[in-house]
Structure formats: structure tokens, C-alpha cells
Chain A
């Protein structure tokens, strides 16, 4: 394996995550290196502020180190665990923050235009990125918008409907359809990846 390539956030060794929570300095450093860019990007997307995102990351990693949150190998991948923690903290902060630092809508349309993606991303993460980005780009804008409001702002479908001035049934149908299409794309990718 080429050591100059960034290590995939999607391929963090569960043992590394477990050791990081047990006070292993090297494991903690490795966990940070593999996950921080992904977590920071998510926190910035939710909060619209790099300063706030940095504070959220400090909280998340501090909790991991202090064992306030504990990674259990049997309960999912490390990056899924860390993304869930980061998203929860960022949304909590978004809800309690004053309006001045409310996020600006940053569309994932920008994903394809990211000039630094290759520099900071492993091939494995890039593959997942391509699948998700392509599928999202193929979704009707209304579906993508409803999905993003739910996921990145933590809004229930009722509030999404209010925000978009659309009937609730329409919004829930859009979210459901968008999720189903993403699942199909990921299924196809996982099957190809397995057989490769």
C-alpha cells in the first residue's frame, strides 16, 4: 500500500477506534488523521462556520478520549459512529446557537467542484463519494433539497414541508424516494466492490 495516500475514513480499523478509547495515544492520533477531514466537512456543512465546526470536533474527540462515548466493534463501523456523534453535536449546536451563526445552505452540488478532494481523500472514500454524488446529482432537485434539510439540519419532515411550502405527503414521499435511490446505488457499488 502506498503510504503517501491518505488512509480511508471509510476503512478505519475498528481496533484502532477501540484502542483510541482505551488511552492509546498512537491509535487516537491515527483515528484523528483518518476521520477528522470527513467529520470537519460534515460539521461545516451543518453549521456553516469553520470555527463552530472546530469546536464540535474538539468536543467529539474529547469525549472519545475520555471514554464518555465508547466504540463497540459490534455496533457498526468507526466512521459511522463518529459521523453520528458529530452530526448529533453539530445539529444540537445549530439548534441552540444564535441566528447569526446559522448555517448557510451549502449545496452538495459543490462536491464535484471540490479542488482538494483528491489531495485529502483515499481512493476508497473517493469511490463512495462518486456513488453518492452521482446519485444525488441525478435526483430531482426537490428530492435532494428535502433530503439535505432533513439530514444536515435535523428537521423532521413536517418542518421540511413548512420550510419548502410543500404538502407534508409530498415531502415525505420525496425523502423516501431519494433514500431508496441512494440505497439502490450503494447496493450496486457494494456488490461490485465485493466481487472485485
Chain B
């Protein structure tokens, strides 16, 4: 495609009358740095933007401003990043960021949140629709089986937990019993030491007594 061919598509691009492939071809050409085409596009963009000035003037309903201002005060501004427009016509490419008005984003954080809510509603509706579908009997049976399996697993888990608890209690009792036996053993040991001391005492007394008897004529 020659430069003249491309130049002829500029007004069509500006008004949004090009097909995707033609649009991409022209954008590639503009990206290559063609100043005359860029200048022409800027002028034709101005023409396109001026078209609504010729429309019959229809003032918005008086209540609309209050509605918009009210919605605005309910939702404080949040910082979101700009996204390229989903609408191709009049959409300047990234390359024209500094030449033409910015384009509308297709998604926003608010849109994302709203989308999530809508998805939630959709899932709910799908679930309801699914319940009312002819497959409901089979699916309900499968669900009941799964529920039974979950209940059985839960019961098994509860039994294991109970057994574990019993084991822990038995271990505690055993430990306490061992502690008591150790204390008794220590007491017996003390008594044994005391008895040994008494025996030593008695042995000493006996020896002394035997010595005195031997000195008596």
C-alpha cells in the first residue's frame, strides 16, 4: 500500500470507519513516524469531535445532575490505572498518547468489583438453573453420596480424636503414678540410710561395751 493510499484512509480512521486490519495498517504507518499523516489525523480528529456541535441540543434532565453528584459523594474517588478503550472507532493507539484525547477504559476497579458481584449473581443463577434442570436427580444423588462420604470421614476423624485424647489421659496417669513411685522409693531410701546409721550407732555402742567388760578384773 502506497503512502497516498494510506493517507486517504486517515479521515476514515478519524471517524471510525476503518476495519480492524486497515486500522492496524494505518497505525503501523503512523508509528513509523509519518509527520504529514499524523498532522492530517489530528485535524480530522478535530473534525470528528466537532460533529456533535451540529446536533439538536437536548438538555439532560434536571434530576440527572443531582443523581450523578449523589452517586459521586457515595463513592469516594479511587486511584485506578487507565486502560485502552474497547471501542475501536476514534480510538487513538498507544503511539498517539500525546496527540489526542485519552480513550475510555473498558475496565476499572469499580467495574472489577461490579463484575465480581455480577459473576456471583450469575453463579447463583446458574446454580438455581442447574437445580431446576433435568439433571437435577442425578446430580442430587451424587451430591448426597459425596455428603455421606464427608460425614463418614468426619465421624472417623472424631473417633481418632477421641482415641488420641484417651491415650493422652492414660499417659498423664502413668506419669503421675511413676512420679508417686519415685517419691516412695526416695522415702524408702531415706529410711534405709537412717537404719544404717542406727546400726552403726549400735555397733559402736556394742564395741564400747565389750571393751569395758574386758577391763573389769
| Cβ contact within 8 Å between B101 and A114 | no
Contacts of A13 in B (CB 8 A): none
Cβ-neighbour of A72 out of B15, B102, B108 (below 8 A): B102
Of all chain B residues, which has the CB nearest A183?
A: B47
Given A63-B105, A75-B98, A92-B86, decide whether A32 and B65 contact each other with a Cβ distance below 8 A: yes
| Cβ contact within 8 Å between B52 and A54 | no
Given A58-B71, A69-B82, decide whether A182 and B47 contact each other with a Cβ distance below 8 A: yes
Most chain B C-beta atoms within 10 Å of own C-beta, residue among A53, A67, A179: A179
Contacts of B108 in A (CB 8 A): 63, 66, 68
| Cβ contact within 8 Å between B65 and A121 | no
* B201 contacts partner chain A, Cβ-Cβ < 8 Å: no
Cβ-neighbour of A81 out of B48, B102, B111 (below 8 A): B102
What separation, in Å, do the CA atoms of A131 and B43 have in the docked complex?
A: 15
Q: Which of B6-14, B24-32, B148-156, B207-215 contacts A (4 or more CB under 8 A)?
A: B6-14
| Cβ contact within 8 Å between A157 and B17 | yes
What separation, in Å, do the CA atoms of A179 and B85 have in the docked complex?
A: 24
Contacts of B68 in A (CB 8 A): 32, 57-58, 61-62
* A132 contacts partner chain B, Cβ-Cβ < 8 Å: yes
| Cβ contact within 8 Å between B15 and A175 | yes
| Cβ contact within 8 Å between A186 and B48 | no
| Cβ contact within 8 Å between A84 and B12 | no
Most chain A C-beta atoms within 10 Å of own C-beta, residue among B50, B102, B111: B50
Contacts of A167 in B (CB 8 A): none
Interface residues in B54-88 by Cβ distance below 8 A to A read 54-61, 64-65, 67-69, 71-72, 75-80, 82, 85-87
Contacts of A128 in B (CB 8 A): 50, 53
**Chain A nearest CB: distance from B157 CB in Å?**
48
Q: Is the interface of B mostly helix, strand, loop or mixed?
A: loop
Contacts of B91 in A (CB 8 A): 88
Interface residues in B24-52 by Cβ distance below 8 A to A read 43-52
Contacts of A175 in B (CB 8 A): 11-12, 15, 17
| Cβ contact within 8 Å between B52 and A38 | yes
What separation, in Å, do the CA atoms of A106 and B52 have in the docked complex?
A: 12
* A141 contacts partner chain B, Cβ-Cβ < 8 Å: no
Contacts of B11 in A (CB 8 A): 175-176, 179-180, 183
| Cβ contact within 8 Å between A88 and B87 | yes
Contacts of A83 in B (CB 8 A): 49, 52
Contacts of A155 in B (CB 8 A): 17
Given A69-B102, A156-B19, decide whether A120 and B57 contact each other with a Cβ distance below 8 A: yes
* B104 contacts partner chain A, Cβ-Cβ < 8 Å: yes
**Chain A nearest CB: distance from B59 CB in Å?**
5
**Chain B nearest CB: distance from A131 CB in Å?**
8
| Cβ contact within 8 Å between A70 and B12 | no
| Cβ contact within 8 Å between A117 and B101 | no
Q: Contact residues of A with B, CB < 8 Å?
A: 10, 21-23, 28-29, 32-33, 36-38, 40-42, 44-45, 50, 53-54, 57-58, 60-63, 65-72, 74-77, 79-81, 83-85, 87-89, 91-92, 106, 108, 110-111, 113-114, 116-117, 120-121, 125, 128-129, 131-133, 136, 147, 150-151, 154-158, 160, 172, 175-176, 179-180, 182-183, 186-187
13 pairs of residues in contact across A and B, judged by CB atoms under 8 Å? A36-B65, A40-B58, A62-B68, A66-B109, A68-B80, A68-B110, A80-B45, A151-B48, A176-B8, A176-B12, A179-B14, A180-B11, A183-B44
Across the A-B interface, the 9 shortest Cβ-Cβ residue pairs: A68-B108, A76-B101, A179-B11, A88-B87, A81-B101, A132-B54, A40-B60, A150-B17, A42-B52
